[in-house]
Amino acid sequence: MAQTVGVSSPPTTRIMETAHEPTRTQRFFRGLTPYLLISPFFIGFILFQLFPILFSFFLSTQQWNPYKDGADAFEFVKLDHFNTLFHTARFWNSLRVTGIITLVCVTIGTALAVLLAVLIDAVPDWLSNILRAVFFMPSVTSVVVITFIWKQLLNRRYGLINDLLVSNHIMDAQNFLGDSKLALWSIIVMLIWAGLGWDALIITSSLRNIPEEYYEAARIDGASYIKQFRYITLPLLRPVLLFVVTTGCIFLIGLFAQVQLLTAGNPLHRTETVSLYLYDQAFGYQEFGYASAIAVTLTFIMFAVSFFNFKFLGNRGEV
Amino acid sequence: MRTRRDKMGRGVLSVVLCLIALTYLFPYIWMIGTSLKPDDELSNGKLFPEKITTVQYKSLLEGFDAGRIQLKYQYPRYYLNSGFVTLTSVGLVLACDALAAFAFAKFEFKGKQVLFWLMIITMMLPVYATLIPSFYLFSRVYHWVNRYEALILPGVVDAYGIFLLTQYMRTIPSELLDAARVDGAGPLRSFWKIIVPLSRPALGTLAIIKFLGVWNDYLWPLVMIRQEKMFTLPIGIGQMQVRQGMVVWGVQMAASVLATVPVVILVFIMQRQFLRGFTAGAFKG
């Protein structure tokens, strides 16, 4: 019998089907249906995703002269770009900056988000809904808006944070965005602030799926709140934490807009992330081949980190 | 006894959390406060204006005149651009992704597994993997610099959406589709009458995620757009900084308030569906 659409049809429908056996043209079109359905997506997919990715690998082995046209513009340079890249101190520095930001934001950010989610879950529903919306606000606010607010708050001379520090005699005015150590931490604080609500929201939804009976049983056994958290909540949050950590890592490794707008990599590249370096090489110096080599490297790093996360966080949860 | 103590603990916790929330919102309060200050109060280190004025909003919309420096922003235009690009993208993504997800969830066809996995792998690729070649393609081959096409079309390819919708559509019983076919409904009709209404929660989630993504996107428009009349809100607000020093803080904050408030109001109005749909979609898959 002809393979029909839909996998498991109960016997009754099958009998009905034989009543109208489809003609050959009908069968042809039926076989074509799924391809027609996916074609709008896949045409775009090939044009705007698959082809650019392959082209990216190609470009990373080329010296591209943007002032020439057609095939003349490209010159094959083998793996020279990668060779240069791995011998450039500025690249290693940007990798270090990205690494620090990612590591600190993911660990502290996730820990704070879990804490916040647990606390929000403990208050009455109406309040917890409002609170979730409040903490979610940075996630729906434009990155540009958030970064500019922070930039003014952190301003050396006019910033409100310095005003508060000085007028309350806590410490002297700090050059938050110009000092080589403080600048990186300013970025990190802003990122944790901005990401908290999103992570907390996702974690809360998972908290609500933990059956209340587990906690009741634990209470009967006399387990403290901390023990309940340690032995019930945390293990059951594992899959959601894997998700939060993995997506967080991918986002932070590719961090661009926030840093570009807040410090632009200054002072002296001390806050320059890999993607900022990439952008600078491509659109500042027109070194598109070299920048593609950075892009390819960055892509591999992201895959490696995702793989690492799954390996070490995911093995006990069923993700 | 125990319950009373629990209740009290809850009350204290609620108050503490509210205080934390207020502190958390500090940057927003500052933004609104600054946007309502007159120019000479901008750097006086106070959170709220001494006399509330809308002069910053006026400068933003009507232009800025300080003797030597005269500036006019096409702010309403940024708004229109952002709105148009976002709504079109969301509409197109929903249509393309829903159709493709329907095929992946409810049809058997040759190459299905390969195509699906190909999609999943590219879903995990960062935007940087395609940034430079896409820029080349769009500027040299299609000549779409400063065009809406450049802002809308690449975003339509959203494998994450297909993944989300496919997972959801798999849970719709195939018997419903079989019954519809017996009644003589073609695939498009079943799609429109059965799949779409039943997938509404997942479609809503995708629409919200996409809306936020496009509305707030910074990098891609930054690369593709050079003309002021094509600026989206993030680029427009970002460029205000480049052109001026401290003086335009106020205007910039007014622009930020106007760009933020509608979205935040939307979040609060749709709070329930929004937050619930959002998390359901992100996690049930």
Q: Does A135 contact chain B (CB < 8 Å)?
A: yes
Say if residue B224's pLDDT is above 60. Answer: yes
DSSP string, A233-283: IHHHTHHHHHHHHHHHHHHHHT--HHHHHHTTT-STTTT--HHHHHHIIII
| A5 band by pLDDT with thresholds 50, 70 and 90 | very low
- pLDDT recorded at residue A108: 95
Q: What is the pLDDT of residues B269-283, one digit of tens each?
A: 766 666 655 555 444
Rounded Cα distance, A307 and A312, in Å? 9
On chain B, the residues whose CB falls within 8 A of the CB of A143 are: 216, 218, 234
* Residue B61 lies inside a defined structural domain of this protein: no
- pLDDT recorded at residue B75: 82
* Residue B103 lies inside a defined structural domain of this protein: yes
| A12 band by pLDDT with thresholds 50, 70 and 90 | very low
Q: What is the pLDDT of residues A247-299, one digit of tens each?
A: 888 888 888 888 988 888 778 888 889 989 999 988 888 888 888 889 889 88
- pLDDT recorded at residue A100: 93
- pLDDT recorded at residue A10: 47
The CATH number of residue B114's host domain is 1.10.3720.10
Say if residue A8's pLDDT is above 60. Answer: no
> Domain-by-domain residue ranges, chain A?
11-81, 86-313
- pLDDT recorded at residue A9: 43
* Residue B16 lies inside a defined structural domain of this protein: no
On chain B, the residues whose CB falls within 8 A of the CB of A250 are: 124, 126
What percent of chain A stands above pLDDT 90? 11
Average pLDDT, chain B: 80
Q: What is the pLDDT of residues A165-176, one digit of tens each?
A: 887 877 777 778
| A106 band by pLDDT with thresholds 50, 70 and 90 | very high
Say if residue B207's pLDDT is above 80. Answer: yes
- pLDDT recorded at residue B276: 59
User: Quick one: average pLDDT of A62-78?
Assistant: 75
Domain count, chain B: 1
Most confident of A73-82, A153-162, A189-198, B180-189: A189-198
- pLDDT recorded at residue A11: 46
* Residue B102 lies inside a defined structural domain of this protein: yes
Between B46 and B16, residue with greater pLDDT:
B16
- pLDDT recorded at residue A21: 63
Q: Does A315 contact chain B (CB < 8 Å)?
A: no
- pLDDT recorded at residue B226: 83
On chain A, the residues whose CB falls within 8 A of the CB of B127 are: 254
- Looking at 2.40.50.140, 3.30.470.30, 1.10.3720.10, 3.30.420.40, the CATH number of the domain A86-313 comes to 1.10.3720.10
Q: What is the pLDDT of residues B72-109, one digit of tens each?
A: 778 888 888 988 998 899 999 998 888 888 888 888 88
Taking an 8 Å cut-off on Cβ atoms, the answer to whether B282 and A3 are in contact is no
Chain A residue whose CA is closest to B10: A123
| A102 band by pLDDT with thresholds 50, 70 and 90 | very high
Residue ranges making up the domain that contains B208:
79-226+263-283
Taking an 8 Å cut-off on Cβ atoms, the answer to whether A142 and B177 are in contact is no
Q: What is the pLDDT of residues B46-79, one digit of tens each?
A: 777 778 877 778 777 777 666 666 677 788 888 8
* Residue B9 lies inside a defined structural domain of this protein: no
On chain B, the residues whose CB falls within 8 A of the CB of A148 are: 237, 241, 252-253, 256
Q: What is the pLDDT of residues B151-174, one digit of tens each?
A: 888 878 887 888 888 888 888 888
- pLDDT recorded at residue A114: 92
Average pLDDT, chain A: 81
Chain B residue whose CA is closest to A247: B124
The three state secondary structure string of chain B is CHHHHHHHHHHHHHHHHHHHHHHHCHHHHHHHHHHCCCHHHCCCCCCCCCCCCCHHHHHHHHCEEECCEEECCCHHHHHHHHHHHHHHHHHHHHHHHHHHHHHHHHCCCCCHHHHHHHHHHHHCCCCHHHHHHHHHHHHHHCCCCCCHHHHHHHHHCCHHHHHHHHHHHHCCCHHHHHHHHHCCCCHHHHHHHHHHHHCHHHHHHHHHHHHHHHHCCCHHHHHHCCCHHHCCHHHHHHHHHHHCCHHHHHHHHHHHHHHHHHHHHHHHHCHHHHHHHHHHHHHCC
